[in-house]
């Protein structure tokens, strides 16, 4: 009996070694989408009052974790019984991401003059709103961030699942779950560091009154860099949305797979995402116009 017990431990150790190896491979495969996920979610998590940044980020993180809990079992079931459902979910999610990316560009071009109201240090908080209006706007932003995270999480889970297709179901569950945990903790951990750069910089500045000290210079650099980082996140997040969506169409729709094959892949993904998003925006605006006319 003792020998059987130790044999079981050996099997478990071997399984865990395989899981670790495949988790590394899956994480590398999803590295690109994780980078896009970071840019998108960092942009989504900014634009709040300083006192609300961490509570909002925690709410989005909890929503992201819940997204993974919903997606993982569905992904395993679809992979086993209806593989076409995985592709359909990816394409529909890609349409939404493309629409959101183009809608941001559309809004910036047409409404940027209307948005030049009094702003706080984050650059996106309209201080002319009442406290109730700010809370409603915050809830709307959190909801939008969690929904966008859901679509990006689907992409991450499916890519990770693709690296372990053909393996036993327990092995698939362990590997993909590890990647999902890394995607949640890693991405939002980095986002938390970004949004609190200024607080950390202020602590460094107060630590030493000597303006030539390393801590003082570093603190000032972090404080002065944060506004530029936050402004760039909006641009990076929009580009990431279009790249991710374009990549979904290129890899899952044969027409787009052979579309503009002579240009670099990242540029092709961006163009495809832009075109699909523009088409989706036209359809949404057309429905809105018809709805208003009927009303």
Mean pLDDT in residue range 40-52: 66
Burial 160-177 (b: 16+ CB within 10 A, else e): bbebbeebeeeebbbbbb
Whole-number Å distance between alpha carbons of 206 and 157: 44
Q: Write the Ramachandran bin of 163: left for phi over 0, alpha for psi from -120 to 50, otherwise beta.
A: alpha
User: For residue 12, is it within any domain?
Assistant: yes
Better-scored residue on pLDDT, 65 or 9: 65
Q: Which two tokens stand for residue 133?
A: 């209006």
Helices (H), ranges, the chain? 2-29, 31-44, 53-81, 83-111, 131-162, 169-195, 197-207, 214-252, 254-257, 265-294
pLDDT at 119 (0 to 100): 45
pLDDT at 48 (0 to 100): 65
pLDDT at 127 over 80: no
pLDDT at 261 (0 to 100): 82
User: For residue 203, is it within any domain?
Assistant: no
pLDDT at 160 over 70: yes
pLDDT band at 177 (very low <50, low <70, confident <90, very high): confident
Mean pLDDT in residue range 105-119: 65
CB contact at 8 A, 42 and 231: no
Domain span at 244: 2-195+226-294
User: For residue 131, is it within any domain?
Assistant: yes
Query: How deeply is 10 buried, as exposed, middle or buried, from its count of CB atoms within 10 A (0-12, 13-18, 19+)?
Result: exposed
User: For residue 257, is it within any domain?
Assistant: yes
**Could you say which DSSP state residue 52 is in?**
G
pLDDT at 80 (0 to 100): 77
Whole-number Å distance between alpha carbons of 116 and 134: 17
Mean pLDDT in residue range 83-111: 83
pLDDT at 59 (0 to 100): 87
Report the percent of the chain where pLDDT is more than 70.
Answer: 74
pLDDT band at 176 (very low <50, low <70, confident <90, very high): confident
pLDDT at 109 (0 to 100): 84
Instruction: Summarize pLDDT for 224-263 with one digit per residue, the tens.
Output: 887 787 777 777 778 877 888 888 888 888 888 888 888 8
pLDDT at 270 (0 to 100): 92
pLDDT at 3 over 60: no
Whole-number Å distance between alpha carbons of 27 and 169: 19
Mean pLDDT in residue range 1-21: 47
User: For residue 48, is it within any domain?
Assistant: yes
User: For residue 66, is it within any domain?
Assistant: yes
Our count of domains for the chain comes to 1
pLDDT at 9 (0 to 100): 39
User: For residue 53, is it within any domain?
Assistant: yes
Instruction: Summarize pLDDT for 48-64 with one digit per residue, the tens.
Output: 666 677 788 888 889 88
pLDDT at 222 over 80: yes
* Highest mean pLDDT (candidates 157-166, 196-205, 244-253): 244-253
pLDDT at 8 (0 to 100): 39
User: For residue 218, is it within any domain?
Assistant: no
Burial 121-139 (b: 16+ CB within 10 A, else e): ebeebeeeeeeeebeeebe
pLDDT at 12 (0 to 100): 44
């Amino acid at each position: 009996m003792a020998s059987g017990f130790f044999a079981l431990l050996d099997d478990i150790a071997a399984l865990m070694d395989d899981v670790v190896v495949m988790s590394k491979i899956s994480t590398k495969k999803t590295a690109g989408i994780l980078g896009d996920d970071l840019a998108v979610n960092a942009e989504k998590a900014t634009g709040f009052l300083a006192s609300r940044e961490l509570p909002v980020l925690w709410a989005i993180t909890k929503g992201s974790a819940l997204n993974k809990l919903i997606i993982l079992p569905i992904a395993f079931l679809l992979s086993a019984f209806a593989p076409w459902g995985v592709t359909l979910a990816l394409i529909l999610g890609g349409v939404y991401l493309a629409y959101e990316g183009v809608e941001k560009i559309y809004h910036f071009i047409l409404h940027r003059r209307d948005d030049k109201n009094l702003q706080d240090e984050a650059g996106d908080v309209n201080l002319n709103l009442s406290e109730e209006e700010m809370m409603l706007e915050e809830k709307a932003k959190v909801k939008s961030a969690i929904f966008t995270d859901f679509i990006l999480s689907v992409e991450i889970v499916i890519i990770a699942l693709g690296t372990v297709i053909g393996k036993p179901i327990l092995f698939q569950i362990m590997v993909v779950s590890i990647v999902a945990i890394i995607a949640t903790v890693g991405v939002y951990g980095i986002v938390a560091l970004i949004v609190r750069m200024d607080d950390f910089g202020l602590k460094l500045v107060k630590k030493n009154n000597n303006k030539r000290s390393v801590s003082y210079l570093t603190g000032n650099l972090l404080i002065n860099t944060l506004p530029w980082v936050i402004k760039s996140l909006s641009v990076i997040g929009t580009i990431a949305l279009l790249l991710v969506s374009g990549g979904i169409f290129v890899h899952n729709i044969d027409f787009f797979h052979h579309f503009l094959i002579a240009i670099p892949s990242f540029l092709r993904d961006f163009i495809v995402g832009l075109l699909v998003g523009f088409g989706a925006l036209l359809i949404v605006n057309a429905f809105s116009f018809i709805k208003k006319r009927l009303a």
